[in-house]
A and B are shown apart, each in its own frame.
Chain A
Amino acid sequence: MPLDVKPDLKREFDVVGTRPLRPDGIDKVTGRARFGADATAPGMLVGRILRSPHAHARIRGIDTSKAEQLAGVKAIITRDDLPDHSNGDRATYDILYNCMAREKALYEGHAVAAVAAVSAAVARQALKLIEVDYEVLPHVTDVDAAMKPDAPVIHDDIFTEGVEPKPDKPSNVARRSEFGHGDVEAGFREADVVISRSYKTEATHQGYIEPHACLASVSPDGSGELWVCTQGHFMIRNVSSQVLGMEISRLRVTASEIGGGFGGKTHVWMEPIALALSRKANRPVKVVMSRDEVFKATGPTSSTSIDVKIGAKKDGTIVAAEAILRYQGGAFIGSWADLGAMTAFACYDLRNVRTVGYDVIVNRPKTAAYRAPSAPMAAFAVESTVDELAHKLGLEPIDFRIRNAAREGTRSSYGPTYGPIGIGATLSAAKNHPHMSAPLGNNQGRGMACGFWFNFGGQTCTSLNINLDGTIALSVGTPDIGGSRASMCLMAAEELGIPYEKVRCVVADTSSLGYNDVTDGSRVTFSSGMATILAARDAIKKLCGRAAQMWGISEEAVIWEKGYAKPAGPNAGEFPPLSLKEIAAAAATTGGPIAGHHEFNADGAGVSFATHIVDVEVDRETGATRILRYTVLQDAGKAVHPAYVEGQFQGGAAQGIGWALNEEYVYGEDGRLQNAGFLDYRIPVCSDLPMIDTVILEIPNPKHPYGVRGVGETSIVPPLAAIANAVSNAVGVRMTHIPMSPPRILKALEGRS
């Protein structure tokens, strides 16, 4: 049934677009809000996990007998306690294997066994008593090294997909993908200037300040409850049940407040282990990861190696563009290179384009999404090359981009034709922004870059219940990672025509609402928002029906206007308007409780573009780069709560700045992570950054009732290249290795002199 979601573009909003206080705010500033590690249960045990110290090793045997005898140990889990329920589904099997090693430990930090004990001290002691017989194997952690013919092959049952003829030898290259159209060879022959460059980016982590934590409680009858910080409690329920062979309906998952996710909490990590421990011990078990474990055993990004070649004519038209992208997905099959290959040239209108992606396996933790996954690396490579090409042609980088930018009707580099898109608007807004004329001094430079990301819809379900006093209880199923509850309340209040304060929004548990896909893909304000609007419209129909009853007229004769039911016209009768509060108070006599709900698979989320401008100053003595000025220009469609849209722009930019300048996973020759803590994995602190300016453009999305577009992810895509371009303009070196940490910049400066 087609939904009536076309936005009325001339609509004047009453509350949408304002900046009220968020409903969960008070608890967060008083310490009352409960996050993953803040729950307790009577008889609770502490769960701890034993992890492989080796990057690659066969596990010949595990002896837990001594640990079992330690007083206070109530349960021990190894691979023998986790039978394979995957039914041949590789993705599920890989999740099981990642939760706990089976034949081999595939990365340093891979879980090997787990213990539940009466205290942390006893649990720690028990882990020390577990004896694991490892046969250490050769390892490989670098994406290019893993592709070499002499690299140790990590899985002997993976044969490269997407190549002809089909290989007969196993490989670390899991798959090859290709996108594009036209004839790039012909295009390059036509070009007046061609730039060819290779780039490398190191792995990063989402860096959420809250480590993974959960409290699991499983009864002898197989039913269980789980309290967990996650971006998707329905996903946790489904996946944990599958992995453990439990019935989905027997597991009730409640999402705690979440202390950051950014994609890293869209998967299961140790939750099935916590449930398995609880099942075995018949007591609640709390498992909280240490920061060390978060870095070593959750889901960092790929590290990449990318070749880009772009050719243009003297007049500035790009005639051919090609990229070969090699992404490692950790020790399991991923499709990260796919995403890089699809997004690399998405900002441009190209006649001839080709991207080839290789997804590679290495002895590192299983890669997870990080805010526009795979796009920042590809954008770094492409936008750096674009800048270099612009300079060679003697054109302003921004004008070169404006000339070649994608527009409505452009055939995208990943295939489909674009509808109305915002990149042109962000570019012209950038060109006219005062930032572009701010003065620059010695060793200071300005850079810009564009970024693209998809937005998603997904399965979504909301329920809106009207209380006796006319206030609204709104239940959504998408965990709130950025302030979305405020936006949901705004949209419900807008539709119903009541004050924002009368709506309260909760994130319901898995037993209280139908399935909701994870909070990811910048989808919540779009999908849960649309579901909220439609649930409110559903409720309004019912409210009108009740008013009709109270007046003794037909339902069709009642309309809803700004919080009141009114007769549709003079023929309907002379009745003073009935407020929502009055109708709610009479609900018992007109048919019972009044509610609206909506469940669907949201679609039509569209795509998102941004342009960033950054000014930097490079210290030639230390190689340190300081951010002087930063501006984010991005299309939000309609900013429901502008402060939280700004927050997404600023947060993504800050993460991109850290990624560009400092953050990287450093591996030793032994395949072990050298910097598994916040001291040496250096994320931006308050003194590293200036104020971050934001420009919210509003080009409505025709597929959402208010025109909303997703905003959460795109702002992490441009910073790497924008900063590389700024550094190049500041001190004349082209950085091709991310992060552009001080040692790398010094080396580049020395190389130049």
Chain B
Amino acid sequence: MIGTKPQGERVRVTLWGSLRSAAEGRDTVEVEAATIRELFSRLGKSYPGLKPFIDRGIAVSINGQIFRDSWSQSIPKGAEVYLLPRIAGG
């Protein structure tokens, strides 16, 4: 259909240890998301405990590549997705 975004795939997201208590103790969660933006939005709605972390800044690893601010980055089907602390260098 013209004008609508493609339907997001169900994405399996692994959380780093400290996030697990904010996600009801789970170390992996599943949401429907085609991009990082959608991922954050849906995660924040499904697990409100994660929202403060997302607002503060989280990095996302997609198939081993780390993204810090690229929220329009698409998530390929079956990709390995990790949430990581938003790290910086020196």
On A, residues with C-beta under 8 Å from B are 91, 161-164, 175-180, 206, 262-264, 266, 335, 338-339, 342, 356, 368-373, 412, 414-419, 453-459, 520-523, 601, 603-606, 703, 713
Contacts and interface: CB of A to CB of B under 8 A. Distances in A.
A126 to B, nearest CB: 35
30 contacts: A162-B18, A162-B21, A163-B21, A177-B16, A179-B17, A263-B90, A264-B90, A342-B84, A342-B85, A368-B90, A369-B88, A370-B90, A372-B89, A373-B89, A414-B16, A415-B84, A416-B63, A416-B64, A416-B84, A417-B80, A419-B64, A454-B89, A455-B89, A521-B89, A603-B67, A603-B70, A605-B66, A606-B65, A713-B89, A713-B90
Contacts of A180: 17
A601 B17 CA distance: 28
B1 interface: no
B68 A457 contact: yes
Contacts of A338: 85, 87
B73 interface: yes
A459 B67 CA distance: 11
The 10 closest A-B pairs by CB, nearest first: A263-B90, A178-B17, A521-B89, A369-B90, A416-B61, A162-B18, A415-B82, A177-B18, A520-B89, A338-B85
A338 B85 CA distance: 7
A162 B69 CA distance: 24
Interface string B15-49: 01110110000000000000000000000000000
B87 to A, nearest CB: 6
B89 to A, nearest CB: 3
Residue of B61, B64, B87, B90 with highest tally of chain A CB at under 10 A: B90
Given A161-B18, A206-B90, A372-B89, 8 more contacts: A263-B90, A370-B90, A371-B90, A373-B89, A415-B84, A419-B64, A603-B67, A605-B66
Contacts of A523: 89
B17 A414 contact: no
Nearest to A518: B88
B63 A335 contact: no
A414 B68 contact: no
Interface string B74-90: 00000010101101111
Given A162-B21, A178-B17, A603 B61 contact: no
A416 B82 contact: yes
B85 to A, nearest CB: 5
A370 B90 CA distance: 5
Contacts of B64: 412, 416-419
Contacts of B88: 266, 369, 373, 456, 520-521
Contact of B90 (A162, A164, A266): A266
Contacts of A456: 68, 88-89
A263 to B, nearest CB: 2
Contacts of B69: 458-459, 601
Nearest to A459: B69
A152 B65 CA distance: 42
Contacts of B80: 416-417
B63 A417 contact: yes
A263 B89 contact: yes
Interface string B53-65: 0001000010111
Which among B67, B69, B73, B89 has the greatest number of chain A C-beta atoms within 10 A? B89
B65 A419 contact: yes
Contact of B65 (A356, A453, A522, A703): A703
Contacts of A417: 63-64, 80
B25 to A, nearest CB: 8
B53 to A, nearest CB: 9
A419 B61 CA distance: 12
A601 B70 contact: yes
Contacts of B14: 415
A339 B69 CA distance: 18
Nearest to A90: B56
Interface of B: 14, 16-18, 20-21, 56, 61, 63-70, 73, 80, 82, 84-85, 87-90
A605 B66 CA distance: 8
A179 to B, nearest CB: 5
Contacts of A177: 16-18, 85
| Most chain A beta-carbon contacts within 10 A, residue among B61, B80, B88 | B88
A454 B87 contact: yes
A456 B73 CA distance: 16
Nearest to A178: B17
Contacts of A419: 63-65
Contacts of B70: 601, 603
A600 to B, nearest CB: 9
Contacts of B16: 177-179, 414-415
Contacts of A414: 16, 84
Given A335-B85, A416-B61, A416-B66, A262 B90 contact: yes
B83 to A, nearest CB: 8
B39 to A, nearest CB: 15
B4 to A, nearest CB: 20
Nearest to B20: A178
Nearest to A357: B18
Contacts of A339: 85, 87
B65 A604 contact: yes
Contacts of A163: 21
Nearest to A231: B90
Contacts of A356: 17
Most buried by A among B67, B70, B87: B87
Contacts of A703: 65
A458 B21 contact: no
A436 B43 CA distance: 51
Contacts of B73: 603
B89 A176 contact: no
Contacts of A604: 65
A340 to B, nearest CB: 11
Contacts of B61: 415-416
B84 A369 contact: no
Contacts of A206: 90
Nearest to A91: B56
A3 to B, nearest CB: 12
Nearest to B89: A521
A603 B61 CA distance: 11
A603 B89 CA distance: 15
A206 B66 CA distance: 26
B71 to A, nearest CB: 9
Contacts of A412: 64
Given A416-B61, A417-B80, A520 B18 contact: no
A603 B71 CA distance: 12
A177 B21 CA distance: 11
Contacts of B67: 603
A456 B14 CA distance: 21
B66 A454 contact: yes
A50 to B, nearest CB: 29
B65 A458 contact: no
A530 to B, nearest CB: 14
A459 B70 CA distance: 9
Nearest to B70: A601
B79 to A, nearest CB: 10
A713 B67 CA distance: 19
Nearest to A411: B80
Q: Which of B18, B20, B65 has the most CB of A within 10 A?
A: B18
A119 B41 CA distance: 55
A415 B82 CA distance: 7
A639 to B, nearest CB: 20
Nearest to B62: A416
